[in-house]
Amino acid sequence: MAALRTGIRFTFGAKPQREPAAIVLSGACTDPIAIRFKSAHPSKVRCFLLPSATSAWTMAIETDERAAAVLEFYLIGTADRVVLERSVRVSAGASIQLSTLFLNGGKTSVNDRASIMGEGGTLRSETLGVLSGEDSVEAVQTVRHAAPRSVSDLVNSLVASDASQIVFDVTGAIQKGNAGSRCKQQNRGVLLGEKASIEVSPKLLIDEYDVEAGHGCAIGRINADELFYLSSRGLDPMTAKRLVVSGYTAPYVQRIDDPALRRLVETTLLSKIGGAS
């Protein structure tokens, strides 16, 4: 585990891991943070972002050829404003899986730019955002396919309660000459407050014929019939609402194999949706 307040370079994959590595970033970091994954051994890294009053982080993430990596981000805490910028470069035959949990309070701005530079490179990004009060998240996600037979899969699950606001701008681009590539997006959101708002703008920019591309977007309030069914089985309205929301949160929580970390995430989630109107 490394606790940092200044920029630094991390390299993983040169040696085998017995357990996931951890990076803890507290406050603001003025210098870019570089994370590199080598191909010798699969890597798993957890990055904890603990904001102060105003925090900003800039990260450059890259893989060597045929590297395999899992990189998890946990943004937990309260700050007036948080800015997170991440650039990802995926090399030939490499596979990287990003998992991001936005469980913080305040205003958050995110700019994610990913480029799949090598043939057969794969990027999977899963994001869970749970907001309450007057919290807000504005995120821009861009994936550029710059190699044949490259794969990207973006999944965003968003929950907004009270008067919180979520805006996601999601773009996937396959450049000409990169046949056999696949670019997919899934965006879904649930509103738990009358003043809550979720806006998602999915876009595909395709300049090649022999590819597979698609996006889906489903946002709405909890179905009244679902709540009625659960209530008829003896659940009170709040418990029923939490059960429905767990369909969004459970896939992320269940993958956390560290008991203490899972309890922290579950407690934070409960505090955010516990009083949702």
Show me where the domains of the chain are located: 2-221
Q: pLDDT digits over 227-269, tens only?
A: 666 667 776 766 777 777 777 788 888 888 888 888 888 888 8
pLDDT at 5: 45
Instruction: Specify whether the backbone of 180 is left (phi greater than 0), alpha (psi in -120 to 50) or beta.
Output: left
Report the alpha-carbon distance of residue 173 to residue 205 in Å, rounded. 4
pLDDT at 70: 96
Give pTM, 2 decimals: 0.89
Record the tokens describing residue 108, joined without a space.
Answer: 């958050």
The three-class DSSP label of residue 27 is coil
pLDDT at 35 over 80: yes
pLDDT at 277: 46
| DSSP code per residue over 216-249 | EEEEEEPPHHHHHHHHHTT--HHHHHHHHHHHHH
pLDDT at 143: 97
Mean pLDDT across the chain, nearest whole number? 88
Record the tokens describing residue 132, joined without a space.
Answer: 């309450």
The mean pLDDT of 56-67, rounded to a whole number, is 94
245 phi and psi, to 5 degrees? -65, -30
Q: Which of 63-67, 101-105, 200-204 has the lowest mean pLDDT?
A: 101-105
Q: pLDDT digits over 124-135, tens only?
A: 999 999 998 899
Of all residues in the chain, the percent with pLDDT exceeding 70 is 89
pLDDT at 224: 67
Residues near 166 by beta carbon (within 8 Å), at least 6 away in sequence = 129, 131, 136, 137, 158, 160, 189, 197, 198, 199
Of residues 69 and 233, which shows the higher confidence score?
69
Of residues 90 and 264, which shows the higher confidence score?
90
The β-bridge partners of 266 are: none
